């Protein structure tokens, strides 16, 4: 009987052999026939069970057939050990940081090394490194509904405008002190998140359909009215800057931005289509809609969920899109009268004025009525009552101050009067 030809098995197949041997009723002969190898080879694999299990804990070796010893001064091996230690400590590593560390490790051994993207890619493949996110949930989007809305409704609106006159504006939150929630690590490692730094700014971005031909200045909203690092004249900044108590976009700020742009368009005698989400569009009252040449209220959310709409839109990976604020959160923001202090600049942000709160309440009421959110009406009425009381109190205080000033003027002696009687010559 001819001997079977020796077959070199990769380490992952050897693990399958070990798993097959552990099945009830399994014998060396049956396993050898299943994998088309000799009984002696199955026996050798069984004898080296412990060492194989320990060796294959590293994902990089599973597809290989032999283990080749790596020299201690190898940059790739040293980088792999460094990465494992740093990820265990909670670090979030990017490709740029890995290449920089590889250069430092080589320099510490007296070598000059400038790793390329190709080297990094091969190193990741070799060491089983992948770019992962800490935590997240992926919701299924109704792509059929998104496609139907895009084909039936959106195209009809877009056909009336040239691509250069079609704009999209959206707000996004930038957590500028946030620790990265993703980074390179071993494929078998699970990243665990920690407490997140919630300091943020809000940005409103707007560009036209041609992509980069016409970009409006970025509208940045922070907490401080005048950060220390900013010039006194905010118009010298490369962006438009305003502040609010929580660095959120408000109806007042959005309308200020919208009217300024609309006035420029009127001078140019230009009609454009601006696509915004439902929270921003709710800030336009009927009087303001009439002031625009054409105001299209496209009820996207009546047909699509946020996930479905975003499935059609490319978003920048470096920015995090805001979730829609709940009715309660937005109404509480209206009622907030505390002075928010910026820890870095130690400057108190200006609280919302009564006029701003009334503007926002008006926007919110129209939005709630338009969307039929009856459950939010009692909360809205409660805040309206509070703000109306605050307005009356402020009015009474103003009248009291005016009355006191008048009494002070009337009580002044005649000698201190501004106009003196002069004797006739």
Q: Mean pLDDT of all residues in the chain?
A: 72
d(CA 383, CA 330): 11
Q: Output the pLDDT for position 241.
A: 92
Q: Each residue of 17-57: pLDDT tens digit? A: 888 888 888 888 888 888 888 888 888 888 888 888 777 77
262 and 230 share a domain?
yes
Q: Look at residues 23, 39, 61 and tell me which one is the last residue of a structural domain.
A: 61
Residue 378: helix, strand or coil by DSSP?
Answer: helix
Whether 422 maps to a domain, the answer reads no
Whether 384 maps to a domain, the answer reads no
161 and 227 share a domain?
yes
Whether 415 maps to a domain, the answer reads no
CA angle, corner 106, sides to 100 and 110, nearest 5?
Answer: 140
Does residue 326 surpass a pLDDT of 80? Answer: no
Whether 136 maps to a domain, the answer reads no
User: Hey, what are 93's tokens?
Assistant: 């590593």
232 burial via Cβ count (<10 Å: 0-12, 13-18, 19+): exposed
330 and 235 share a domain?
yes
* 239: Cβ contacts below 8 Å, ≥ 6 apart: 217, 218, 219, 220
Whether 166 maps to a domain, the answer reads yes
d(CA 216, CA 67): 58
d(CA 209, CA 162): 9
179 and 313 share a domain?
yes
224 and 246 share a domain?
yes
Residue 11: helix, strand or coil by DSSP?
Answer: helix
Q: Look at residues 83, 98, 131 and tell me which one is the last residue of a structural domain.
A: 131
302 and 262 share a domain?
yes
Q: Domain range spanning residue 115? A: 75-131
Give backbone dihedrals phi and psi of 315, rounded to 5 degrees, phi first: -120, 150
102 and 123 share a domain?
yes
Packing angle of the helix pair 39-47, 11-21 (nearest 10 deg): 90
Q: Each residue of 87-134: pLDDT tens digit? A: 887 778 888 889 989 999 888 888 888 888 888 888 888 888 887 776
Residue 175: helix, strand or coil by DSSP?
Answer: coil
44 and 84 share a domain?
no
353 and 250 share a domain?
yes
Polymer length of the chain: 425
User: Hey, what are 333's tokens?
Assistant: 């923001």
Does residue 206 surpass a pLDDT of 70? Answer: yes
Whether 414 maps to a domain, the answer reads no
d(CA 374, CA 34): 67
126 and 147 share a domain?
no
Q: Other CB atoms closer than 10 Å to residue 406's CB: what's the count?
A: 10
278 and 250 share a domain?
yes
Whether 193 maps to a domain, the answer reads no
27 and 172 share a domain?
no
Give the range among 312-326, 344-358, 374-388 with minimum mean pLDDT: 312-326
Domains of the chain: total: 3
Whether 406 maps to a domain, the answer reads no
Q: Look at residues 374, 393, 414 and tell me which one is the last residue of a structural domain.
A: 374
Decide: 185 and 87 in contact? Cβ < 8 Å.
Answer: yes
């Amino acid at each position: 009987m001819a001997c079977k030809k020796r077959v070199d098995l990769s380490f992952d197949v050897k693990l399958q052999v070990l798993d097959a041997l552990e099945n009830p009723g399994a014998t060396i002969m049956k396993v050898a026939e299943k994998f088309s190898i000799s009984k002696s080879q199955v026996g050798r694999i069984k004898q080296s069970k412990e060492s194989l299990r320990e060796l294959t804990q590293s994902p990089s070796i599973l597809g290989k057939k032999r283990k080749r010893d790596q020299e201690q001064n190898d940059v790739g091996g040293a980088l792999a050990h460094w990465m494992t230690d740093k990820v265990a400590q909670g670090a979030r590593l990017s490709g740029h940081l890995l290449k920089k560390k590889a250069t430092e490790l080589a320099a510490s051994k007296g070598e000059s090394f400038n790793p390329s993207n190709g080297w990094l890619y091969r190193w990741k493949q070799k060491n089983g490194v992948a770019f992962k996110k800490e935590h997240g949930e992926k919701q299924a989007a109704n792509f059929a509904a998104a496609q139907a809305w895009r084909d039936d409704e959106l195209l009809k609106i877009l056909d009336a405008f040239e691509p250069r006159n079609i704009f999209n504006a959206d707000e996004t939150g930038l957590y500028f002190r946030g620790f990265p929630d993703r980074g390179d690590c071993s494929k078998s490692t699970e990243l665990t998140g920690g407490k997140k730094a919630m300091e943020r700014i809000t940005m409103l971005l707007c560009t036209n359909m041609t992509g980069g031909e016409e970009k409006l200045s970025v509208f940045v909203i922070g907490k401080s009215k005048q950060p220390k690092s900013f010039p006194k004249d905010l118009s010298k900044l490369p962006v438009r800057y305003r502040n609010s108590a929580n660095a959120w976009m408000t109806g007042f700020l959005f309308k200020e931005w919208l009217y300024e742009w609309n006035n420029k368009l009127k001078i140019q005698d230009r009609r454009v289509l601006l696509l915004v989400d439902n929270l921003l569009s709710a800030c336009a009252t009927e009087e303001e809609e009439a002031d625009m040449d054409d105001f299209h209220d496209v009820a996207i959310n009546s047909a699509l969920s946020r996930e479905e709409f975003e499935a059609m839109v490319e978003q920048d990976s470096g920015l995090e899109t805001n979730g829609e604020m709940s009715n309660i959160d937005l109404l509480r923001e209206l009622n907030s009268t505390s002075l928010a202090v910026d820890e870095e600049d130690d400057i108190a942000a200006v609280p919302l004025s009564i006029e701003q709160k009334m503007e926002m309440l008006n926007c919110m009421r129209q939005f709630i009525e338009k969307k039929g959110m009856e459950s939010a009406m009692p909360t809205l009425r409660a805040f309206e009552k509070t703000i109306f009381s605050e307005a009356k109190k402020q009015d009474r205080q103003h009248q009291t101050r005016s009355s006191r000033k008048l009494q002070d003027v009337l009580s002044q002696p005649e000698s201190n009067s501004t106009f003196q009687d002069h004797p006739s010559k």
